[in-house]
Structure 1
Amino acid sequence: MAKRRKIAAPSADDLTRIEDEFRRETLNTPNPALAPISQVSAEAAQAQPVLDAETRAKQAQQEADATALEDAKGQGRLIENIPLDDILADAMVRDRTVIDPNDMSELKASIAAHGLRLPIEVFRRDDPEQPFGLLSGYRRLWAIRELFGLTGAEKYKTIKSLVRDPEALGGGFAAMVEENEVRASLSHYERGRIAVVAAQQGAFPSTEKAVSSLFSVASKAKRSKIRSFSLIFEELGDLLEFPESLKERDGLRLSAALRNGAEADLRDALAKVQPASAEAEWACMASVIDAFEITGAVEKKGGRPKKQAPQIGWAGQDTLHLSSGVTLQYGTDAQGYVIRLKGRGVDGALVERAMEHLRYLFEKG
């Protein structure tokens, strides 16, 4: 008969020793059920310190802030301080051709007193020497440059800028025009000029399309005026010395004369003089414009003569023919000024609306 073995219960020290040995064996021995990458991940997780809830919340906020900052920069919403020498001011043909010295003086005084409140807009260029091109803020850029030239102050060596993607803004020309339309209204000639330039540089297939796209929010009447002034730039822009000073009415008369074939005579008249003022320049064109404003009927052989349609635009100094068929004519009598309305569509209701609009104009003035 086999001898029974007497079993003794392990002591507390024995249990502690056994647990320590078990831990060492299980931690140091790879688990055959786990893939190598899983084993590494498990060991890395065990090595990471356990963070409290407050620390984890701060880390999450920092990651969210970093993502938001990167998004803002990518979308052109982050203001950066860019050195003046890094910006090419004439990277695009500007729509504004004249800068008023008084306006510039006021702008410089404002920046010197309060700083630049509104950043300029730039776009990236493939040029390591001047990696940015000016999109909008031409006057602000020049004001800062002049202040730096005058003072040499460190704060004027850079300018607050938003780095934009011009195509995301509807094209560089559209972004520039929009900025100037909002902050410093352009003359009709400047609007017409930039439409022609944009078409010539391939941004739009035609001047007509350029006007429609660049000034899409403008009224139909305003776009029509811009097209008239774009014709002036196309046919006489190289000869005119004071085109920005053209009054709206004079510009429309000039464009009407050009449509009637006055280009050659106008160019000849302008080439013979060197006007010292806008008034003198207009005077040398006035006789040509008068001659082309009212054209006689073209004689045709055979058939019944057709009624000549009235010329659209100003006929002389006191008569205006509208495209709607209405003619406006003004004059004076013993009691003051008189306005006569006639033509297709003129009725009592239309005259009442015209009276209301006149009341608005005179009360506003």
Structure 2
Amino acid sequence: MPDPRGTLEMRLSVAPPTGGPATFPAGKVSAAPHRAAYVVQPVALDRICMVKLVRDRKKVPDFELSELKSSIAELGLSNPIRVESRPDGDFDLIQGYRRLSAYRELLKETGDVAAYGAIPAAVTEPGADLDALYRRMVDENLVRKGISFAEMAMLALDFASDPGTSEDDPERAVAVLYKSASYQKRSYIRSFMTIVRRLDKALLYPQEIPRSLGLTLARRLEEVEGLAMAIRAELADWDNRSIADELDVLRRLCGAVEDGAGQAIRPAPRPSRAAAGTRTSFTFDRRHERCLCIAAKGRLDIRLDRDFSAIDRTRLEQALRLMLDQVAP
């Protein structure tokens, strides 16, 4: 007896290339009966837009993209991307950011328009609500190997910030997007949202933060006033840092800003970095304010929430002379 739920198999002749010279053999598409049918066809890369769904993709190396490019060059694309047609004749990307990125890089590197000027895409008509499109994108990211908690947190924040979605609260957005995840995993994602909110622009490699470090860092950012500022200062003007460099700063500062009694202490000197020179930073409380100090070769920065230009020049000079007599006699 056939399964009462049924399945629907449709053989589709692939439509002619949309704006590109590439050709593809006829394909076979299977879909559940309740899902909208789609046509797989080649779509020109320059006609695919990435604005419908917010994607907070940081400009950092994707170490697995080269493997994907090699696979595409040798075997072709195993799964088409998914796009939605637009009234102007172009298409919005729904799924397949990395596959599209690989095609664009291959086209740039080879100049082979016939091979990489268009990409196989499952084209659907407009109609799906934005929440469903975000969940579809999230589902794809969850099955992709190695997606990090930071990236999942970014997706939730993007979802909440998009005016077209049903939820504008990031905490509740996690529950909407990650329904299938365990309560514990959703809790981890919410913790990483703290890191993304406080440090996103300062970090080059948030996706490399391991879970244990991320949970500690998120907790310390909530507990320790000035920690985010100290991390930002430590990473400022250090664009050539490695993943290990960045993680070392996070481990060192989130573990050494305060001792068990809550008193500010000076962290151990940071490892030297040949390209940028040695630098040490620390914070401490003075009366009713937090002071951040950054020491480097030929430079000492003291940061307080006050206007030093308002201090009498003679008085400021005398204070600096006294300090220098103590630290650099």
Say yes or no: TM over 0.5. Answer: yes
- The answer (yes or no) to whether the contact 1:208–1:227 under 8 Å persists in 2 is yes
The separation in 1 between residues aligned to 2:63 and 2:243, in whole angstroms, is 19
Q: Residue in 2 aligned with 1:265?
A: 227
Q: Residue in 1 aligned with 2:157?
A: 196
1:112 is the counterpart of 2:73: yes
1:183 is the counterpart of 2:148: no
**In 2 relative to 1, CA 81–270 (structure 1 residues): closer, same or farther, beyond 3 Å?**
same
Higher share of residues assigned strand: 2
Q: Residue in 1 aligned with 2:97?
A: 138
**In 2 relative to 1, CA 293–121 (structure 1 residues): closer, same or farther, beyond 3 Å?**
farther
1:167 is the counterpart of 2:101: no
| Segment of structure 1 superposing worse, 246-255 or 152-161 | 152-161
Q: What per-residue deviation string (whole Å, max 9, x for no partner) do you get for residues 261-300 of structure 1?
A: 43x332234224444233433444434544458466xxxx
The separation in 2 between residues aligned to 1:169 and 1:197, in whole angstroms, is 12
Aligned counterpart for 2:202 among listed residues 239, 262, 276: 239
Aligned counterpart for 1:253 among listed residues 203, 216, 219: 216
Q: What per-residue deviation string (whole Å, max 9, x for no partner) do you get for residues 183-213 of structure 1?
A: 3341111111121121122322211111111
Q: What per-residue deviation string (whole Å, max 9, x for no partner) do you get for residues 147-191 of structure 1?
A: 333142424322111123573584322111111111334111111
Q: What per-residue deviation string (whole Å, max 9, x for no partner) do you get for residues 234-282 of structure 1?
A: 11212223222212111100001122243x3322342244442334334
**In 2 relative to 1, CA 254–157 (structure 1 residues): closer, same or farther, beyond 3 Å?**
same
Equivalent pairs, count: 226
The separation in 2 between residues aligned to 1:120 and 1:188, in whole angstroms, is 24
**In 2 relative to 1, CA 293–127 (structure 1 residues): closer, same or farther, beyond 3 Å?**
farther
Query: Partner letter of residue 138 of structure 1?
Result: Y
Query: Partner letter of residue 277 of structure 1?
Result: S
Give 5+ residue unaligned stretches, structure 2: 1-11, 14-28, 263-329
- The answer (yes or no) to whether the contact 1:123–1:163 under 8 Å persists in 2 is yes
The separation in 2 between residues aligned to 1:168 and 1:237, in whole angstroms, is 29
TM-score (norm 1): 0.54
The separation in 1 between residues aligned to 2:81 and 2:230, in whole angstroms, is 43
The separation in 1 between residues aligned to 2:218 and 2:168, in whole angstroms, is 22
Q: Residue in 1 aligned with 2:49?
A: 88
The separation in 2 between residues aligned to 1:96 and 1:186, in whole angstroms, is 12
Q: Residue in 2 aligned with 1:17?
A: none
Aligned residue for 2:197, secondary structure, equals: helix
Q: Report percent identity of matched pairs.
A: 32
Q: What per-residue deviation string (whole Å, max 9, x for no partner) do you get for residues 23-51 of structure 1?
A: xxxxxxxxxxxxxxxxxxxxxxxxxxxxx
Give 5+ residue unaligned stretches, structure 1: 1-64, 297-365
Aligned residue for 2:43, secondary structure, equals: strand
Aligned counterpart for 1:79 among listed residues 37, 40, 47: 40
**In 2 relative to 1, CA 284–209 (structure 1 residues): closer, same or farther, beyond 3 Å?**
same
1:226 is the counterpart of 2:212: no
The separation in 1 between residues aligned to 2:87 and 2:260, in whole angstroms, is 54
TM-score (norm 2): 0.59
Q: Residue in 1 aligned with 2:299?
A: none
The separation in 1 between residues aligned to 2:188 and 2:259, in whole angstroms, is 17
Query: Partner letter of residue 118 of structure 2?
Result: T
Kindly report the root-mean-square deviation, in angstroms, between the aligned alpha carbons of the 2 structures.
3.2
Query: Partner letter of residue 143 of structure 1?
Result: A
**In 2 relative to 1, CA 256–191 (structure 1 residues): closer, same or farther, beyond 3 Å?**
same
Q: Residue in 2 aligned with 1:152?
A: 112
Query: Partner letter of residue 184 of structure 2?
Result: A
Aligned residue for 1:110, secondary structure, equals: helix
1:28-39 matches, cutoff 5 A? none
